[in-house]
Chain A
Amino acid sequence: MTDMTAGASAAPKSSLLAQDERTRRRNAAEARFKLYGVIAITLAIVALLFLMVSIMKNGSGAFFQTFVTLEVELLEDKLDKNGNRDPAEMAKVTTFGYSPLIKDAMAKVVADNGIEIDGLKKPEDLISKEAAAQMRNFVLAHPEMVGETRPFEFVASGRIDGYYKGRVTMESAARDSNISPEQLQLADALKAAGALETRFNWSFITWPDASENRPEVSGLGVAIIGSLYMMLVVLALALPIGVAASIYLEEFAPKNRFTDLIEVNISNLAAVPSIVFGILGLAIFINFAGLPQSAPIVGGLVLSLMTLPRIIIPARAAIQAVPPSIREAALGVGASKMQTVFHHVLPLAAPGILTGLIIGLAQALGETAPLLLIGMVAFVREYPAGPPEGLFDPATALPVQVYNWTQRADPAFVERASGAIIVLLVFLMVMNTLAIILRSRFERRW
């Protein structure tokens, strides 16, 4: 007893209150290590936020568009020389015949509002070059309107639109051959007079793509239809095939070489780069089978092959999660193996299969690279026909449209591309939310 107290009182090497050098080092290392983890997570989340904010900031402008309202006189001697209102005859007047009307209307607005700007040339350039076509379509649809004066709402040209979105400034306009500072002053004057406004624009979602120098009238209509058609093909092919394959592998497959081969193949296909599927589509579906380029059917086939393993893997997990007692009960009352699977196991596994399917579809919707190779990058202005013929018509897809717009020179297309991304992300968010709801609502713990 005395020995011990003597030993303890001799020289206490460490204290509970004051840390020694080594403990301090170890605790500092501990804190540092933990900090690294916090930094890593912060970096990842900051990257996510930065990405989202950058896309939103660049893209939200695409949903707003500047419009100019003009009173246009539909002169009879320009549009319908014979005066018989025959649409077939009036169709002979091309869009060039309509441009002077817009020019006159513009000059009239400038004069009526008493706008005087030194050195103003070509005030009609404020309006998109698409305006003449817009007017022609209207007149051909309503021939009886010829001779009247009525207000038209025209899309303003891309530069004017950019001026109100901060992309074009007086300085940049001075260096730009497509717009002059005087025209921007005119736009401001018109805005003050109420003839020009920037407002929300649904047409961005419905209009087809437009040519290189008309970014203001380009839209996502054809791309959305194309993507929709491809998703229909994927749904029609990948769902039944994927479910059938999962049922076979989980319920019927004997343990042999063939089954192993299938399993190895499925897990490898899930990791094959998507562009390789594009090469497959080009070589087999287009060059060998002779299907048309740029058609949603080819895109759908390629995406189906790509999505298949991504559907099979969750579907197998869902089937596996159904407890054996269900199967044994069904077999016990005399059901055949096939009846057990289709009447009992499959309905119970359905929510899990559906969740996997939706996530697979969402991945397919965002896939770009394979579609580039099968010609979906083509410039398509015509809406495809309704299915099934429309599946063979040329179309583009949402992500490919984004790529397409990034390849164009006019900076207005960058805004359009970001806007398209927002649309794409909204679709993906809806699909993923649906998957999460399905999972939380129908998930069953056995």
Chain B
Amino acid sequence: MTLTWLVLAVLALAAVGYVMGRSRAMASAGGEIRALHSLPRYYGWNVALTVLTPAFGLMALWLLIQPVFIDARISSQLPDAAVSETTTRSLVMSDVRRVAEGLGQIGASKPESDPDEEYLSDLKSRLGGAGVALASDIDPAVYLAAERYRAGTAIGASLMWVAVLAVAVGGFAVSYLLTNKDFRARNTVERGILLVLIAAASIAILTTLGIILSMLFETRHFFADHPWQDFFLGTVWSPDFRGDSQLAILPLLWGTLYISLIALLVAVPIGLFAAIYLSEYATPRVRALAKPAIEVLAGIPTIVYGLFALITIGPMLRDYFAQPLGLGDSSSSVMTAGLVMGIMLIPFVSSLSDDIINAVPQSLRDGSYGLGATQSETIRQVIIPAALPGIVGAILLAASRAIGETMIVVLGAGAAAAQFDRGIGELVNPFEAMTTVTVKIVSQLTGDTDFASPETLVAFALGLTLFVITLGLNVLALWIVRRYREQYE
């Protein structure tokens, strides 16, 4: 709550700054607006922005750094005795943080003497009442650390108040004193705005960096515990939260690629023929109806497709195909997920291909007709070859979507990893349940997770692999489109 007040205080100062800066500029020009370098409001904005920007910047920085700093200090002061054999320092620290937070919630004051057993067990029940459930009794050392943590946080918060207000007032004073009729206020304000625009554009880079760094960081932890050879070259996926699990990516990758292959086998012919028909044969009326209808498929959230796979397609395939053919009796299967994902991908293939086919110039068609080719011969022998790079690009983009797709496979493909030692028959049976990289990322990272165990960290390695594969496919697709695009000018 105090943070809200600080923000409001800074905003109020900025508002005052706007009014005062504006009137000071007017006063210095003697009320004659033509004597000013810029419009009066720019002088006001200049003061307001000089108050706001450094103050909020400092606040954001402080809020980021303070917890890390206090954590490190308390953690180093924590006696080794408080960290027992069965736990780690970081787990104890999370207890400390929770106790400290709970103490703040129930507003407990520090007792006069050192806390004894009775006080601590009473405290535990009071914390439980406030919604802070603790597994074990509170260790005295943890309690002391929590008290120090609270004190540190409180001091940090007051220091932040002082520092932020000082910066705000300083900015106010400097910019206010600089304000006079010859000050180039518009240029200054516009430079400030330009910096804001650049910062906004840079967020894309920061996001990419954030993705790569966060995954690299945790993946490094994973490979410290688990040899990378086992991860990339092993053939068994069997996580075991008691330790000693075999975590190899190949069985998951097989599932991912197999499902994506089926999805593409569904989506590419349908999408491509739909695009050809829409751009070459369809009357304007059919096109106006069919094209949006197909594009609706792209706007449907993947969870809807997932549910469709789970409650409709899965049981249907099982009852009419898998069981009569003796191929299995699981409703979640490679075929279920692949088929539904294929439906999802139809609009990706069709609308991209449609654009590309439309971009082939009419003169090529006319030339072909003039030589006596039928319409389908023209399409097969002239238009498709001319549009091929674009179509390949569209297929690659669809493949990258298929590989990264999560909800359809979570609900439709099952959770059992492919087992290479069961023989090729089970591996290629499309009615067998099979899991994918994305499913395992979800299952390893949901629920109670312990960020020190390789079973959890493996999700980051899987995520990084997924990121690299999809990125590679996207870059390749864009490169093919650029490299082989015919220039018709």
Give the interface of A toward B (CB within 8 A).
26-27, 29-30, 32-34, 36-41, 43-45, 47-48, 50-51, 54-55, 58, 240-242, 244-245, 247-249, 252-253, 261-262, 265-269, 271-280, 282-284, 287-290, 305, 308-309, 312, 336-338, 362-363, 365-369, 372-373, 375, 377, 388, 399, 402-403, 406, 414, 417-418, 421, 424-425, 428, 432
Contact = CB atoms under 8 A, between A and B. Distances in A.
Nearest to B63: A289
A336 B269 CA distance: 53
Given A30-B376, A37-B273, A44-B274, A244 B197 contact: yes
B81 interface: no
A94 to B, nearest CB: 18
A55 B438 contact: no
B102 to A, nearest CB: 14
B214 to A, nearest CB: 3
Interface in B333-351: 343, 346-347, 350
Nearest to A280: B211
Interface residues of B, number: 89
Nearest to B342: A47
A43 B308 CA distance: 16
Interface of B: 4, 64, 67, 186, 190, 193-194, 196-198, 200-205, 207-208, 210-211, 214-215, 217-218, 269-274, 276-278, 280-281, 290, 293-294, 296-297, 299-308, 310-312, 343, 346-347, 350, 374-377, 379-380, 397, 400-401, 403-407, 410-411, 438, 441-442, 445-446, 451, 459-460, 463, 466-467, 470-471, 474-475, 478
A29 B376 CA distance: 8
A272 B203 contact: no
Contact of A366 (B203, B303, B377, B474): B303
A40 B407 contact: no
A375 B67 CA distance: 22
A288 B205 CA distance: 19
Given A266-B204, A272-B471, A45 B293 contact: yes
Contacts of A414: 311
B204 A41 contact: no
Contacts of A282: 445
A372 B311 contact: no
Interface centre among B300, B302, B401 (most CB of A within 10 A): B300
B274 A273 contact: no
Contacts of B193: 338
Contacts of A271: 397, 400-401, 470, 474
Given A266-B204, A273-B438, A399-B301, A284 B198 contact: no
Contacts of A424: 301, 303-304
A338 B346 contact: no
Contacts of B290: 41, 45
B190 A336 contact: yes
Contact of B302 (A55, A277, A366, A432): A366
B207 to A, nearest CB: 5
Given A30-B376, A43-B270, A252-B194, A369 B407 contact: yes
22 contacts: A26-B377, A37-B273, A37-B278, A40-B272, A40-B274, A41-B277, A44-B350, A48-B296, A252-B197, A261-B205, A262-B205, A265-B207, A267-B478, A271-B401, A275-B466, A283-B214, A283-B215, A305-B207, A338-B190, A372-B445, A399-B303, A417-B307
Given A30-B375, A336-B186, A272 B211 contact: yes
A45 B294 contact: yes
Contacts of B460: 279, 283
A276 B294 contact: no
Nearest to A373: B445
Contacts of A375: 446
Nearest to B380: A33
A48 B295 CA distance: 10
Contact of A402 (B276, B280, B307): B307
Contact of A34 (B281, B343, B478): B281
Contacts of B205: 261-262, 265
B310 A51 contact: no
Contacts of A337: 190
Nearest to B67: A290
A156 to B, nearest CB: 23
Contacts of A37: 273-274, 276-278, 280-281
Given A55-B307, A275-B404, A265 B200 contact: no
B117 to A, nearest CB: 31
Contacts of A338: 190, 193-194
Contacts of A51: 300, 304-305, 308, 312, 343
Contacts of B471: 268, 272
A27 to B, nearest CB: 7
Contacts of A45: 290, 293-294
B411 A403 contact: yes
Contacts of A249: 201
B331 to A, nearest CB: 12
A275 B210 contact: no
Contacts of A402: 303, 307
A240 B203 CA distance: 12
B466 A276 contact: yes
A366 B186 CA distance: 43
Contacts of B451: 287
Contact of A403 (B278, B404, B407): B407
A133 to B, nearest CB: 20
Contacts of B203: 241, 245, 305, 308
Contact of A41 (B278, B377, B466): B278
A275 B441 contact: yes
Interface centre among B278, B293, B407, B470 (most CB of A within 10 A): B407
A357 to B, nearest CB: 15
Given A27-B374, A44-B271, 9 more contacts: A30-B376, A37-B276, A43-B270, A267-B474, A272-B467, A273-B404, A282-B445, A284-B214, A290-B67
B403 A273 contact: yes
A337 B466 CA distance: 43
Nearest to B215: A279
Contacts of A244: 196-197, 200-201
B406 A26 contact: no
A245 B205 CA distance: 12
Contact of A279 (B270, B305, B445): B445
B467 A276 contact: yes
Interface centre among B214, B293, B301, B401 (most CB of A within 10 A): B301
Contacts of B67: 290
B376 A34 contact: yes
A40 B207 contact: no
A56 to B, nearest CB: 12
Given A269-B208, A275-B406, A402-B307, A283 B217 contact: yes
Contacts of B190: 336-338
B270 to A, nearest CB: 5
Contact of A48 (B269, B273, B297): B297
Contacts of A279: 211, 214-215, 441, 445, 459-460, 463
A289 B203 CA distance: 17
A418 B194 contact: no
Contacts of B215: 276, 279-280, 283
Given A305-B207, A366-B301, A262 B202 contact: yes
A337 B407 CA distance: 46
Interface centre among A38, A279, A312, A336 (most CB of B within 10 A): A279
A273 B377 CA distance: 38
Contacts of A377: 446
B411 A262 contact: no
Contacts of B294: 41, 44-45, 48
A187 B442 CA distance: 43
B347 to A, nearest CB: 8
Contacts of B276: 37
Given A29-B374, A41-B278, A373 B442 contact: yes
Contacts of A372: 442, 445-446
